[in-house]
Chains A and B, each alone.
Chain A
Amino acid sequence: QVQLQESGPGLVKPSQTLSLTCTVSGVSISSADYYWSWIRQSPGKGLEWIGYIYYTGNTYYNPSLKSRFTISQDTAGNLFSLELTSVTAADTAVFYCARIGSRSSSSGVPAFDIWGQGTMVTVSS
């Protein structure tokens, strides 16, 4: 059974750097069949795709977001991470990690099929 679990601080001060981790179980993040994603949802708002990382280490980001986001992976630990620099109150949100199948692979579903439970991050002094 594939499971994703986010972890990180619930509270971050303005201007600091937020670091979140998504620990994956039941499948290797080194699989060529999937991309590993971060998605956020501000309070009362919709879903916003942040970006994803492929097993090669290649990263892809939402071009509409300023380049404060960095996604990285730890294949030995089977986890991937999100870093967001210079946070402001506008970054307060629930952050989800999710899996999406590669559209060039016959395996997997080419949609965000498995999600973590989400982690709430509040930016406040």
Chain B
Amino acid sequence: QSALTQPRSVSGSPGQSVTISCTGAIIGIGGHYYVSWFQQHPGKAPKLIIYDVTKRPSGVPDRFSGSKSGNTASLTISGLQAEDEADYYCHSYGGTYILELFGGGTKLTVL
């Protein structure tokens, strides 16, 4: 059982926007901004697409954006493309005891 909760699946049509949520008590702690997001295609290693809640690594399209409100972090993908169909995982620093937490993952289907 993950301490970060994600929806099992989301879907959207090409060109639309979708948002994937990641909820956990650790995210709501004041000053906490160590939330990252990963994209994983079948048979491939995860790829970092967002870190520090809102930052994008070099080479990640600006269609991918991150935000946080209260104890929920969100990944928004705008202008959906077929190649965005993948599994998405959130990750958070869990504090000095738990350290690193992953969400259970969300399968994005592009209709």
Contacts and interface: CB of A to CB of B under 8 A. Distances in A.
Interface stretch (A12-20, A26-34, A66-74, A109-117): A109-117
B48 A111 contact: yes
Interface stretch (B14-22, B23-31, B72-80, B98-106): B98-106
Contact of A49 (B97, B99, B105): B99
A111 B52 contact: yes
Interface in B78-111: 89, 91, 93, 97-105
B64 interface: no
B68 to A, nearest CB: 14
Interface residues of B, number: 23
Interface string A92-125: 0000100010010000011111011110000000
B80 to A, nearest CB: 23
B86 to A, nearest CB: 13
B99 A62 contact: yes
A112 B48 CA distance: 7
Interface residues of A, number: 22
B69 interface: no
B93 A49 contact: no
B7 interface: no
Interface string B45-61: 11110011000010000
A111 B51 contact: yes
A38 B101 CA distance: 13
Interface in A40-92: 46-49, 52, 60, 62-64
A112 B38 contact: yes
Nearest to A117: B45
B38 to A, nearest CB: 7
